[in-house]
Structure 1
């Protein structure tokens, strides 16, 4: 995400991630938190029918799905303050295994951590987060 430093005002290509979320905000004290809240709020604002990812979803729902997808293995984010343009740019890249496809469930509903040991790369349960971790 080195290109983010150029303050181009648009998502930058990221060959290592299958999905990206991008947000440009007017300068704020916590733009990273605001971007994440914005991406996540699509669930409450719009909802996701049947908990399925659809290629036809609008970008706000795709941003939520990128964050919530059960196949997300790694997340990396970059924040760039663009003072001359009066904004801050935030982009997060998601490495997914497998990549999310049309009609895929965003996540399986069930007891927290119940599938950690059964993943392609088995993981442990973080009792603090209720998530599978390496």
Structure 2
């Protein structure tokens, strides 16, 4: 069964270096109505967010372990960008590291939510709806 919820129209930045994981996430998120831009490392996520006009990205799904710049460093860099949306944009950690300490590190870096891989789409959608103020289908 498809997960319920409404993320139609959300503009998401997906930072994921594993091509298969990125393709699967993009397909599921696009099928749920989101617009997805994929980047392959944390530095590209920072650059893409910084180049976007303020308020045009609704949320970032950030892999934690990536080349060039990991997701924790990328999150800290995004939070340090001197504009209001950089401090407020929901950043959702995606990681195979599912221990409580890993979640604490993600939150300490400025991420809003810690999602363990393999991703469960119902949890991803619920987190996006909560962080982006969308209402869940009943």
Taking structure 2 as the reference length, the TM-score comes to 0.24
Taking structure 1 as the reference length, the TM-score comes to 0.25
Whichever of the two has the greater Rg, that structure is 1
Compare the two structures and name the one with the higher strand fraction: 1
